[in-house]
Amino acid sequence: MKPNRGFSLLELLIVVAVILIIAAIAIPNLLQARIAANEASAVGSLSAVRSAQTTYFSTYPTVGYATQLADLGGPAPCTPSSTTACLVDNGLATATPGSGGKSGYVLQSTGVVTGGATNNTSYVSGAAPLSWSRSGNRDFCNTSDGVLRSKLGATGDAPTTTIAACWAFPVSQ
């Protein structure tokens, strides 16, 4: 009689159980890492928008800050103008609500006329996760003061579009 070669059913079940335990430990950590990466990307995107808004303000003083996020980008080949300034990648400029977003977040940037001025003397930029607790947990915003603010988001949040709403966010650490 030949000796049995191979694994018994019990040995295979033990191996499968060990793999499932390892997966149960690893998957939540991977999801949290993805959320952290998406939030870091949103912060980087808002930083790029802040820089672009500052450049736009200097380049188009009669307009002031850009009226909307799309004004900061432009399709390739981009020709600079006040409506397509070519200051940010068009993928970022079109990552607005209703689109697929960028790295799990949608963004908006809105020029604001203050104090009876005739041009946009300030702006507010906001970022909100596409799917709360899956692509991100926090909402972010900044204004022309350059301070990044964030708060814990909620399902259905949209990017902040008013200065008062952004100033109500706690300052990010």
Predicted confidence at residue 27, as pLDDT, reads 87
Q: Does residue 173 form part of some domain? A: no
The domain total for the chain is: 1
How far apart, in whole angstroms, are the C-alpha atoms of residue 79 and residue 75? 9
Give the C-alpha distances (Å, rounded to integers) separating 153 from 31, 51, 90, 139: 17, 25, 26, 5
Q: Does residue 3 form part of some domain? A: no
Q: Does residue 2 form part of some domain? A: no
pLDDT in tens, 138-162: 999 999 999 999 999 999 999 999 9
pLDDT in tens, 82-129: 999 999 999 999 999 999 999 999 999 999 998 889 999 999 999 999
Q: Does residue 79 form part of some domain? A: yes
**100 contacts: CB under 8 Å, gap ≥ 6:** 130
Q: Does residue 119 form part of some domain? A: yes
Q: Does residue 85 form part of some domain? A: yes
Q: Does residue 22 form part of some domain? A: yes
User: Contact 144/172 with Cβ under 8 angstroms?
Assistant: no
Q: Does residue 1 form part of some domain? A: no
Structural domain containing residue 90? 9-167
What is the pTM for the complete model shown? 0.86
User: Contact 123/112 with Cβ under 8 angstroms?
Assistant: yes
